[in-house]
């Protein structure tokens, strides 16, 4: 029987549960002709939420284009990857090529047959240096594709990574396009919440108040309990309400890690049995053993002050810059601690919800408790 718990991929169908209100807000905001910024810590199910919203919007007739900024590392890589994202959503590549030629002047489009005999679109930079002009022309392309009677919705994921393109003033350039375009709307999503909030709430930044804002938090535990019990029952396995809550607690109520832990339990539990605390603990240890080398290297790679902070966060993440917290956990000065927290946050190792910092990966936290404390 197929394991019903999925992790590391976009969750769809019956495995995507709750988030109906958040999904509706995305659909209503973009469908209503407005732009939206969505931020949530890593592994909270942001991308799955976005793809489920895309599915609903496409059934309403909108043309939706998803683009992940994470692989972008230069203007050239942006142009290549963004062009690919735009072209793969087109049913008529010859028409797209004509629109491309009339909009992007200095890059040659190439139409050819791919491995399966299908027509494929690519671009040839030749000796052309990718500068602001070329990027600006490319950013005009969705509006040209939309024409007068069509709406195109662009979904920019991990949007905080546009800082890699600051040499060509990408942030300011894109903001001007967003203001000018009449038939294109955008969703900007990102997992480095502090960077995203600064981009859209700082008066000195180009995207200040440029879009409606929303965030997603923890899923309601009752819905997750129902989801776990329903899926385990497919194998005639009983997950009591108490055990379901225990799985959620161990996984810090983060959707990705709930799925990961549940998948590990499913793989090893016998049909017709009851899940016990020992089974959950054994599955956690099995997961930790599989990633122990990675976790050890991750910890060893950190500076002394970052290691000290990580170990303190295993106990508490509230008011970490206060004198009482620094004294209690024998931490360095507040200034040094702030640099350590900033570095760990930028690397995605820790995150913040309100006034509380936490280790992003609850299994890494368990590893540290087990080996370094």
Domain finish residue from 252, 272, 301: 301
pLDDT at 3: 87
- For residue 265, what are the contacts with CB-CB under 8 A and spacing of at least 6? 232, 247, 275, 279, 280, 283
326: domain CATH number is 1.10.10.10
3-state secondary structure of 262: helix
Per-residue pLDDT of 38-88, as tens digits, reads 988 888 889 889 999 999 999 999 999 999 999 999 999 999 999 999 998
- For residue 350, what are the contacts with CB-CB under 8 A and spacing of at least 6? 309, 310, 313, 341, 344, 357, 358, 359, 360
Same domain, 186 and 316: no
Answer yes or no: are the C-beta atoms of 188 and 34 closer than 8 Å: no
> 65: domain range?
19-91+130-215
**Residue 151 counted as domain residue:** yes
Predicted confidence pLDDT, tens digits, the chain (373 residues): 788 887 777 766 666 767 888 999 999 999 999 999 998 888 888 988 999 999 999 999 999 999 999 999 999 999 999 999 999 888 888 898 899 898 988 888 888 877 777 888 888 877 668 889 999 999 999 999 998 889 999 999 999 999 999 999 999 999 999 999 999 999 999 988 888 989 999 999 999 999 999 998 888 899 999 999 999 999 999 999 999 999 999 999 998 899 999 999 999 999 999 999 999 999 999 999 999 999 999 999 999 999 999 999 999 999 999 999 999 999 999 999 999 999 999 888 998 877 889 999 999 999 999 998 8
pLDDT at 121: 86
3-state secondary structure of 69: coil
Domain finish residue from 187, 215, 243: 215
Tokens representing residue 83 in the block: 């062009």
The b/e string for 51-84 (b: 16+ C-beta within 10 A; e otherwise) is bbbbeebeeeebbbbbbbbeebeebeebbbbbbe
Q: Up-side HSE of residue 71: CA atoms within 13 Å toward CB? A: 11
pLDDT at 324: 95
The C-alpha angle 84, 215, 229, rounded to 5 degrees, equals: 95
Per-residue pLDDT of 111-152, as tens digits, reads 887 777 788 888 887 766 888 999 999 999 999 999 888 999
pLDDT at 129: 82
Closest CA to 84 of 141, 150, 165: 141
Distance CA 27, CA 295 (A): 39
Closest CA to 153 of 51, 266, 62, 83: 62
Same domain, 295 and 323: no
**Residue 201 counted as domain residue:** yes
Tally of CB atoms within 10 A around 332: 14
Same domain, 160 and 257: no
DSSP 54: H
Same domain, 183 and 62: yes
Q: Up-side HSE of residue 68: CA atoms within 13 Å toward CB? A: 7
189: domain CATH number is 3.40.50.300
Same domain, 320 and 178: no
* 364 burial type by CB count under 10 A (0-12 exposed, 13-18 middle, 19+ buried): buried
Closest CA to 19 of 234, 255, 266, 238: 255
Same domain, 273 and 334: no
Phi and psi at residue 145, to the nearest 5°: -65, -35
pLDDT at 18: 72
Same domain, 151 and 285: no
**Residue 28 counted as domain residue:** yes
Same domain, 202 and 58: yes
**Residue 96 counted as domain residue:** no
Same domain, 60 and 141: yes
**Residue 106 counted as domain residue:** no
Same domain, 229 and 256: yes
Distance CA 72, CA 83 (A): 12
Same domain, 249 and 308: no
What's the domain count of the chain?
Answer: 3
Same domain, 87 and 45: yes
Partners of 359 in the beta sheet? 350
pLDDT at 15: 66
Domain finish residue from 301, 322, 351: 301
């Amino acid at each position: 029987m197929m394991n019903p718990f999925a992790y590391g991929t976009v969750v769809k169908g019956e495995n995507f549960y709750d988030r109906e209100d958040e999904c509706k807000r995305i659909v209503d905001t973009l469908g209503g002709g407005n732009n939206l910024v969505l931020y949530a810590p890593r592994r909270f199910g942001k991308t799955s939420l976005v793809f489920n919203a895309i599915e609903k919007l496409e059934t309403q007739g909108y043309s939706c284009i998803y683009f992940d900024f994470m692989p972008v590392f230069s203007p050239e890589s942006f142009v290549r990857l963004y062009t690919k994202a735009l072209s793969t959503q087109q049913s008529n590549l010859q028409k797209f090529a004509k629109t491309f030629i009339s909009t992007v002047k200095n890059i040659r489009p190439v139409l050819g047959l791919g491995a399966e005999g299908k027509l494929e679109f690519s671009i040839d930079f030749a000796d052309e240096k990718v500068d602001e002009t070329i990027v600006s022309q490319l950013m005009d392309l969705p509006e040209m594709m939309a024409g007068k009677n069509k709406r195109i919705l662009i979904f920019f994921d991990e949007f905080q990574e546009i800082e890699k393109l600051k040499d060509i003033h990408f942030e300011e350039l894109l903001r001007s396009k967003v203001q000018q375009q009449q038939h294109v709307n955008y969703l900007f999503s990102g997992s480095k919440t502090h960077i995203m909030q600064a981009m859209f709430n700082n008066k000195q930044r180009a995207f200040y108040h440029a879009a409606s804002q929303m965030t997603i938090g923890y899923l309601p535990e009752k819905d997750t309990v129902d989801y776990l019990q329903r899926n385990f029952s497919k194998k005639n396995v009983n997950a009591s309400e108490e055990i379901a809550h225990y799985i959620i607690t161990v996984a810090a109520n983060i959707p990705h890690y709930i799925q990961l832990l549940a998948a590990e339990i499913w793989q090893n539990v016998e049909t017709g049995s009851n899940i016990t605390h020992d089974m959950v603990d054994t599955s956690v240890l099995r997961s930790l053993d599989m990633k122990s080398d990675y976790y050890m290297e991750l910890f060893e790679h950190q500076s002394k002050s970052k290691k000290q902070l990580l170990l303190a966060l295993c106990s508490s993440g509230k008011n970490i810059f206060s004198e009482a917290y620094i004294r209690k956990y024998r931490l360095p000065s507040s200034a040094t601690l702030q640099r350590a927290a900033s570095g760990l946050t930028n690397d995605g190792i820790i995150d913040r919800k309100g006034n509380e910092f936490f280790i992003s990966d609850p299994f890494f936290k368990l590893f540290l408790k087990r080996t370094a404390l």
